[in-house]
């Protein structure tokens, strides 16, 4: 009997996030992606939300094997952008991934204000800057549930954990669609189109949730800090990060990412970093 030909190698995906290697949202996405792709996880050892594309300039980074994943996984004592850069150049053994995936983030990364500060988007951006297809995934959480879900590292009980897994399955499908679109999505610029597909999923999502191509909602940035009361010294103010309770979006058309989420749709926004500077802007 002739020997059957070897099975074709599956595309390699480098997966990271900003919520940390112990996030259930990351595990759910790794499990979903591993059904169709070869996956290597390189994620921060601790939560790194709101750090943008910060890099660890001082001190050393330590990468350690991480267990509990259905694939090769590493934790890194660094930022999300560090994770992708180190993964690409030091942990993949010279292999070049077909795609860099980041997420799923705990909570959405919609609007210009949140996107620019997002470590999740920054991890995908590091992949795009290396000339690779890149996508960032974020899953909305009801505002009154966010602190509890974050403290539980993404675990929400059987019903909501099933929603998380359904969202991860949609992320896998969208990643495969993105790979199939590659000739027009990023190879048009010699493989260096610097596009990050920023995908935000509504709190309730299933196999039939529609996908909408969107723009970024915009508005003035409110204070993200709360002043601490009592014990103030003269000439000293103490504050703590508290997020904003009210946002005024002056640009919120029907095709904005936030509008899509509020309508229960999946928002897919193409962030082309090569076109950030508008030629007509003054």
Tens-digit pLDDT profile for residues 227-270 = 888 666 788 888 999 887 788 999 999 999 999 999 999 999 99
* pLDDT reported for residue 182: 63
Q: Is the pTM of this model over 0.85?
A: yes
**pLDDT at residue 6 is higher than 70:** no
Residue 188: which pLDDT band, with cuts at 50, 70 and 90? very low
Burial of 29 (0-12, 13-18, 19+ CB in 10 A): buried
Residues spanned by the domain of 183: 12-213+254-275
Tell me the pLDDT tens digit for each residue of 140-149: 999 899 999 9
- Domain assignment of residue 27, yes or no: yes
- Domain assignment of residue 264, yes or no: yes
- Domain assignment of residue 221, yes or no: no
- Domain assignment of residue 4, yes or no: no
Domains of the chain: total: 1
- Domain assignment of residue 246, yes or no: no
Domain of 17, CATH number, reads 3.40.1210.10
- Domain assignment of residue 144, yes or no: yes
CB 18 within 8 A of CB 48: yes
- Domain assignment of residue 7, yes or no: no
CA distance 110 to 138: 9
CA distance 143 to 71: 32
Q: How confident is the model over 86-94, as a mean pLDDT?
A: 97
DSSP 3-state of 151: helix
- Domain assignment of residue 249, yes or no: no
């Amino acid at each position: 009997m002739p020997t059957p030909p070897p099975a074709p190698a599956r595309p390699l995906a480098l997966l990271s996030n900003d919520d940390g290697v112990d996030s259930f949202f990351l595990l759910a996405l790794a499990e979903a992606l591993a059904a169709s792709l070869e996956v290597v996880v390189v994620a921060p050892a601790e939560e790194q939300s709101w750090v943008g594309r910060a890099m660890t300039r001082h001190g050393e980074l330590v990468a350690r094997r991480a267990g509990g994943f259905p694939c090769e996984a590493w934790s890194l004592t660094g930022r999300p952008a560090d994770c992708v850069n180190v993964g690409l150049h030091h942990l993949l053994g010279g292999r070049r991934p077909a795609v860099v995936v980041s997420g799923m983030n705990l909570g959405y990364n919609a609007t210009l204000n949140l996107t620019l500060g997002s470590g999740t988007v920054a991890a995908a951006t590091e992949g795009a800057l290396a000339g690779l297809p890149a996508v960032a995934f974020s899953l909305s959480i009801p505002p009154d549930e966010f602190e509890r879900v974050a403290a539980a590292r993404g675990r929400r009980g059987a019903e909501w954990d099933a929603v998380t897994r359904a969202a991860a399955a949609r992320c896998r499908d969208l990643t495969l669609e993105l790979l199939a679109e590659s000739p027009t999505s990023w190879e048009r610029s010699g493989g260096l189109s610097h596009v990050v597909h920023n995908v935000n999923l509504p709190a309730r999502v299933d196999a039939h949730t529609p996908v909408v191509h969107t723009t970024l909602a915009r508005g003035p940035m409110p204070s993200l800090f709360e002043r601490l009361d009592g014990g103030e010294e003269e000439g000293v103010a103490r504050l703590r990060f508290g997020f904003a309770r009210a946002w005024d979006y002056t640009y919120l058309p029907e095709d904005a990412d936030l509008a899509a989420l509020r309508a229960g749709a999946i928002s897919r926004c193409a962030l082309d970093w090569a076109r950030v500077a508008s030629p007509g802007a003054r």
